């Protein structure tokens, strides 16, 4: 999996909800917006598949607004952490740290609670009952690519929706998919969940 694909696929996320009774009266995009504003924390397992079919797994920890951690499976020396303003990817195998603004990712629709999805997103057919899919693309920055986000409808979930995963497609048509499972909303998250150890010589903790 290339570094660029990894960055595009796993740039952070913020999550979603509103009271189920209210959610039923909203349009699909408004329901998504309410969901994204209402969840304070989320944990989940993830499986990331790149264009070649290679899959990596791990755990996701999210705290609103914008804090996120992708902890890869044992043996994968990668870590992705978001602090609300920027995403940092740490590759411990080569002692390299890459950092980029949250807004430079197609996942900013999920990360940035101030963004209005109705301005650059649309509902697209999912082909599956009970699955709401939203496609987003920033027309001012086509180089950021396109993201298609899947929400599973669940009456018992916050706002009646569960973030199921997403697929990103960059300007070169490279596709990467992230599937979530075991989602838990508004659970306690340790304060040190978004810290990381800088592997660079004379580095410092993030």
Rounded CA-CA distance 144/52 in Å is 21
Range of the domain at 112: 3-187
How many domains is the chain partitioned into structurally? 1
On whether residue 206 sits in a domain, the answer given is no
Residue 54 covered by a domain: yes
List helix spans (H) across 39-139. 108-111
Distance CA 177, CA 147 (A): 10
Q: What is the pLDDT of residue 145?
A: 81
* 195 falls within a domain: no
CATH code for position 154: 2.50.20.10
Does some domain include residue 76? yes
Write down the pLDDT at residue 128.
Answer: 87
Note down pLDDT in tens along the chain; length 206 residues: 555 545 555 543 333 333 344 445 678 888 887 788 778 899 999 999 998 999 999 999 988 877 889 999 999 999 999 887 888 999 999 999 999 887 776 667 776 666 667 677 888 988 888 899 999 887 777 777 888 999 999 888 888 899 999 999 887 888 999 999 999 999 999 989 999 999 998 755 55
Q: 127: Cβ–Cβ under 8 A, 6 or more apart, which residues? A: none
Could you tell me which of 80, 113, 67 has the C-alpha nearest to residue 5?
A: 80
Q: How far apart are CA 32 and CA 35, in angstroms?
A: 5
Would you state the pLDDT for residue 205? 52
Q: What is the pLDDT of residue 195?
A: 92
Residue 200, domain member (yes or no): no
User: Is 179 domain-assigned?
Assistant: yes
DSSP conformation letters of 88-115: EEEETTTTEEEEEEGGGSTTHHHH-TT-
């Amino acid at each position: 999996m290339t570094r660029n694909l990894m960055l595009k696929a796993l740039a952070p996320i913020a999550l979603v909800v509103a009271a189920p009774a209210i959610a039923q009266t909203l349009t699909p995009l408004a329901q998504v917006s309410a969901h994204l504003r209402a969840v304070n924390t989320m944990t989940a397992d993830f499986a990331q598949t790149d264009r070649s079919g290679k899959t990596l797994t791990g755990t996701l920890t999210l705290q609103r607004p914008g804090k996120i951690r992708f902890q890869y499976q044992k043996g994968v020396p990668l870590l992705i952490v978001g602090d609300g303003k920027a995403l940092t990817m740490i590759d411990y195998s080569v002692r390299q740290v890459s950092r980029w603004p949250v807004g430079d990712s197609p996942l900013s629709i999920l990360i940035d609670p101030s963004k209005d999805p109705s301005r650059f997103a649309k509902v697209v057919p999912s082909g599956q009952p009970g699955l709401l899919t939203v496609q987003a693309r920033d027309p001012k920055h086509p180089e950021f690519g396109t993201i298609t986000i899947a929400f599973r409808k669940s009456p018992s979930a916050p706002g009646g929706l569960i973030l199921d995963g997403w697929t990103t497609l960059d300007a070169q048509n490279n596709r990467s998919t992230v599937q979530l499972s075991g989602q838990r909303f508004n659970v306690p998250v340790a304060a040190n969940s978004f810290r990381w150890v800088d592997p660079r010589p004379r580095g410092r903790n993030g």
